[in-house]
């Protein structure tokens, strides 16, 4: 009890010292590392490494345990759908039907053993997919009542993360399997490791893939040893991007900003798809557990992070993301020639003032060409493969979208 009181006093002093300036402010100290932070309505749920689930109803000011029914409190990740919750643990998945007040083992299909150590869960409509360290990927069509393995094409069943982007599924391995992708809702998987670096200590294995994120059609995979990997072709190939620290646990995106949570060097951000980086570590002590970021979540007006020091911090979003005021009347672009045959050139302020997405649609609203560009004076699109007819070119920035009609001859 004496040590508990001392820890509490130390935490209060830490809060007082760190809230005096704009920076990360400590919110709560857990008995073990917060590995996942999720929210629904007025509740914040935190999965801790070895102490189970905690819930807050006051934006993190206070937390209480909610472990009734759990026989494994080594918790990993959580997904929420209305009052239903699925919790990944070191030995499989648990289910709650009452906002996490009570838990029971999820339905049949996932072995309750160490080979079902959950890396991550994702929700796709009424379907749930879970990546495990040892038993591959499982699919549930009834929110955890029953599960089926979907490992066709997966060579390495040790997986740490799973992600959806544009209808495609991606999963990453922590022990050398690299990146796999599915185009048919997980029924079959293929390796997507072109450009993925190998482990420095073992040239036969790929680097540890720890999480995924996307900005539009640009996909980012975070790794250990190689930093951020970027794909501009929906995962067909990857390029390693120089980052301030090559050991990354988590990523988070908002609009055109990517946040990276590093091991020992805190939070960094890029607003130009990885060309430049800015550290956001005010309030964190670098090269300590405070700066080893294991979870991130956007909740209301704040970004919350969980650290290896067992402390959860938060910071106002407006201190992290650049707020750009809408400038619709000042944003424009011209395209020529129109009618066009082989190429279309786009010029104007919309493409020379930051990041812009360019999409070409036909009259049936099917997207035929897409790309993302940063601070370009001129963009040239190859339209030689388009049939004769009317098309629409969409230029979209963070706060504006302009569509113009073009005729292809």
Q: What is the pLDDT of residues 328-363, one digit of tens each?
A: 445 567 888 888 888 998 887 766 667 888 888 887
In angstroms, the Cα distances linking 59 to 15, 25, 101, 271, 303 are 16, 13, 18, 28, 11
Say whether pLDDT at 75 is over 90.
yes
Mean pLDDT, to the nearest integer, of 292-309? 96
pLDDT score at 5: 43
The set of residues, in sequence order, having a beta carbon less than 8 Å from that of 250 and lying 6+ positions away, is 210, 211, 222, 260, 261, 293, 294, 295, 296
Domains of the chain by start residue, with CATH: 1-28+242-323 (no CATH), 328-408 (2.60.40.3080)
Identify the band that residue 322 occupies on the pLDDT scale cut at 50, 70 and 90. Answer: low
Q: What is the pLDDT of residues 105-133, one digit of tens each?
A: 998 999 999 999 999 999 988 899 999 99
CB crowding 248-257: b at 16 or more within 10 Å, else e: bbbbbebbbb
Lowest mean pLDDT among 255-259, 266-270, 283-287, 308-312: 255-259
pLDDT score at 377: 77
Q: How many CB atoms lie within 10 A of CB 105?
A: 18
pLDDT score at 125: 81
Q: Are 368 and 329 in contact (CB under 8 A)?
A: no
Please provide residue 24's backbone torsions phi and psi, each rounded to the nearest 5 degrees. -70, 130
Say whether pLDDT at 217 is over 90.
no
Say whether pLDDT at 16 is over 80.
no
pLDDT score at 331: 56
pLDDT score at 341: 85
């Amino acid at each position: 009890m004496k040590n508990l009181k001392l820890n509490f006093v130390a935490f209060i002093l830490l809060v007082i010292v760190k809230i005096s300036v704009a920076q990360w402010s400590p919110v709560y100290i857990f008995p073990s590392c917060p590995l996942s932070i999720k929210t629904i309505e007025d509740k914040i749920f935190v999965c801790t490494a070895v102490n189970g689930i905690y819930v807050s109803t006051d934006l993190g000011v206070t937390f209480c345990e909610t472990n009734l029914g759990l026989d494994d409190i080594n918790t990993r990740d959580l997904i929420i759908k209305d009052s239903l919750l699925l919790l990944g643990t070191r030995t499989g998945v648990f289910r709650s039907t009452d906002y996490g007040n009570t838990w029971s083992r999820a339905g049949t299909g996932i072995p309750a053993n160490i080979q079902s150590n959950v890396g991550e869960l994702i929700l796709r409509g009424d379907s749930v997919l879970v990546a495990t360290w040892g038993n591959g990927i499982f699919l549930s069509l009834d929110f955890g009542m029953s599960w089926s393995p979907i490992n066709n094409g997966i060579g390495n069943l040790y997986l740490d993360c799973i992600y959806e982007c544009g209808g495609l599924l991606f999963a990453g391995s922590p022990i050398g399997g690299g990146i796999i992708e599915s185009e048919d809702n997980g029924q079959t998987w293929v390796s997507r490791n072109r450009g993925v670096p190998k482990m420095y200590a073992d040239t036969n294995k790929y680097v540890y893939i720890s999480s995924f994120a996307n900005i539009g059609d640009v996909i980012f995979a975070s790794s250990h040893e190689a930093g951020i990997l970027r794909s501009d072709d929906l995962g067909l190939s990857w390029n390693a991007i120089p980052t301030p620290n090559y050991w990354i646990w988590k990523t988070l995106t908002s609009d055109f900003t990517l946040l990276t949570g590093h091991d020992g060097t805190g939070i960094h951000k890029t607003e130009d798809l990885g060309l430049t980086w800015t550290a956001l570590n005010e309030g964190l002590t670098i090269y300590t557990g405070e700066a080893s970021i294991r979870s991130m979540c956007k909740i209301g007006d704040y970004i919350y992070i969980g650290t290896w020091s067992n402390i959860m911090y938060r910071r106002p979003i407006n201190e992290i993301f650049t707020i750009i005021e809408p400038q619709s009347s000042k944003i424009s672009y011209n395209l020529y020639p129109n009618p066009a045959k082989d190429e279309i050139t786009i010029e104007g302020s919309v493409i020379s003032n930051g990041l812009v997405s360019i999409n070409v649609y036909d009259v049936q609203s099917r997207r035929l060409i897409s790309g993302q560009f940063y601070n370009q004076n001129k963009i040239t699109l190859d339209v030689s493969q388009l049939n004769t007819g009317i098309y629409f070119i969409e230029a979209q920035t963070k706060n504006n979208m302009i569509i113009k009609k073009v005729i292809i001859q």
